[in-house]
Amino acid sequence: MTEQTANRRVVTNMSLSLDGRYARRDPRDMSWVMPYAHTDVARDHLTGLWEPATTALLGRVNAEGFLGFWPTVIGMPGVDPRDEGFAKWLVDADKVVLSGTLGESAPGRAPWERTTVVDRPTTEVVAGLRATGGGDILVLSSASVIKALLAADEVDRLALTVFPVFLGDGPRLFDDGLPAAEWALVSQTAGEHGTLALVYDRIR
């Protein structure tokens, strides 16, 4: 059972290429991720992140992608138990989607259960979530959300899955001008095809 605390951690998770990019120039092209996303190290890495979490925080684009796909995994023949576990967690968890357009017709409403759409600054939303009881707040691969939290020094745990490819172009996760910060390596795991899972905690 997840410990309920009033001082909740903000945990961010992102997949990166070896040259530090989280997407190709066309962000819809995820073909570079697929050979590595189904490895044991990637699945175990994600499991270790969602198990202590009770809230998923997403941007609109990732919400539409994650919540459109993952519920369909539940009960799928031959599904890996770790994938199904994550899918069930995502359905059952409280979800907060940051969007200025998704809830226009019905503010605060979303097409998914246990989901709230919020049109406020990321740091303000996170401050509100931190003040409530619950487990970790897990930011799932939403680059715009993660970048805003890094810029405000609001990330407590930084989880990265590094895939051994150079994309050559496309957006980078770490922008110039981030506040100086020290991080402690909590875990490192190398797996199939050179996949590397890293978890860092912010030293404050």
Per-residue model confidence as pLDDT tens digits over 6-54: 579 999 999 999 999 999 988 778 889 988 888 999 999 999 999 999 9
Q: Distance from CA of residue 148 to its chain's centroid?
A: 13
Residues of the chain with pLDDT under 70: 1-6, 102-111
For residue 193, the model assigns a pLDDT of 87
How far is Cα 107 from Cα 145, in angstroms, rounded to an integer? 20
